[in-house]
Amino acid sequence: MSRAWETWDHVLKVDPDKELYGEETFADVCQTGTDAIEIGGTFDVTTEKMERVMEACARHDVPLYQEPSNPAVVVDDEALDGYLVPVVLNAQDPFWITGAHKEWMRIDNGDVDWDRTTTEAYIILNPDADVAELTDADCDQSPEDVAAFARAAEKLLGQEIVYIEYSGMLGDTDVVEAAAEATAEATLFYGGGVHDYDSAYQMGQYADVVVVGDLIHDEGADAVRETVEAARDASADAADVVDAHSD
Ligand code: 1GP
């Protein structure tokens, strides 16, 4: 699979189970300037809801990925650029580490499109999030623990994406910084509670990719556009710092 995410600063995650903001349409959702749209949610996701969002977004020029929350909702659609499949490193329910994946392989019986499929190594850190409840995640992790998870993901497990997930709350920058320092090759995603320019910039200083979810449903495309701008600025400023050090 091409590692498109290596060039991304921002991802917009659309939950097929949630309504769009006000009178907004998927045309608005697709025109925030984000690098890619990930379609996925935790509860009550069905293939019908997934397909409805995919069809609507496919009419617009934005890379489209499915993040399947369980093997039953993987949608085979040409419009998709790929599948980003969560593996939850700190799940205490093993279904979310290998069980769901094994089930998917059994259902698809060798027909998986490997050129469009990769995994995201999740570390879930908000105990109140639906996804923490679903996976029984052990969210009691220090920055050192998260760095160790990130290193294990990259070096031992060969993961190309490490995903710090605070879904629903803005996370601890010390944790995100520790994960950034622990990863060299992997692309670091951060998601959770990003709601404006400052919060996106704060996380974008350390994460390679800032993921924004609820904001599109709660405040709409203009609010998301600000976070795209911040993620770009943070990435450009971080590149300047690296250049200055190498001069
Ligand atoms: C959720 O990481 C994403 O999977 C984004 O979180 O909805 O809190 O923005 P929010």
Lowest mean pLDDT among 19-33, 72-86, 122-136: 72-86
* For range 155-168, the mean pLDDT: 98
Ligand 1 atom at shortest distance from the alpha carbon of 193: 8
β-bridge mates for residue 88, sequence order: 122
Report pLDDT digits (tens) over 168-196: 999 999 999 999 999 999 999 999 999 99
Q: Which residues of 122-152 are buried (b: 16+ CB within 10 A; e: fewer)?
A: bbbbbeebebbebbebbeebebebbbebbbe
Token pair in block for residue 199: 């919060």
Q: What is the DSSP letter of 153?
A: I
* Cα→Cα distances 237→42, 178, 244, Å: 34, 19, 11
Answer left, alpha or beta for residue 24, where phi above 0 means left and psi between -120 and 50 means alpha.
Answer: beta
Ligand 1 atom at shortest distance from the alpha carbon of 42: 4
Q: Which of helix, strand or coil describes residue 102?
A: helix
Token pair in block for residue 56: 């609507």
Number of H helices, E strands in the chain: 9, 8
Q: What is the CATH number of the domain that holds 163?
A: 3.20.20.390
Q: In angstroms, what is the span from residue 105 Cα to ligand 1's centroid? A: 27
pLDDT-based confidence at residue 1 (cuts at 50, 70, 90): low
- Residue 19 contacts residue 29 (beta carbons within 8 Å): no
Angle between helices 143-151 and 173-182 (to 10 degrees): 30
Q: What is the DSSP letter of 159?
A: -
CA–CA gap between residue 9 and residue 232 (Å, rounded) = 6
Ligand 1 atom at shortest distance from the alpha carbon of 67: 4
* For range 223-238, the mean pLDDT: 97
Q: In angstroms, what is the span from residue 243 Cα to ligand 1's centroid? A: 31
Q: In angstroms, what is the span from residue 214 Cα to ligand 1's centroid? A: 6
**Mutate which of 12, 13, 85, 169 to test ligand 1's pocket (most atoms within 8 Å of Cβ)?**
13
Four-point Cα dihedral 81, 164, 73, 23, nearest 10: -80
Angle at CA of residue 136, ends 175 and 143, nearest 5° = 15
Residue bearing the bigger pLDDT, 247 or 19: 19
48: containing domain: 4-246
* For range 30-55, the mean pLDDT: 93
* For range 50-74, the mean pLDDT: 93
CA–CA gap between residue 223 and residue 195 (Å, rounded) = 7
State how many domains the chain has: 1
* For range 210-219, the mean pLDDT: 98
Query: Does 69 have pLDDT greater than 90?
Result: no
* For range 99-118, the mean pLDDT: 92
pTM for the model: 0.96
Residue bearing the bigger pLDDT, 202 or 2: 202
Q: In angstroms, what is the span from residue 167 Cα to ligand 1's centroid? A: 4
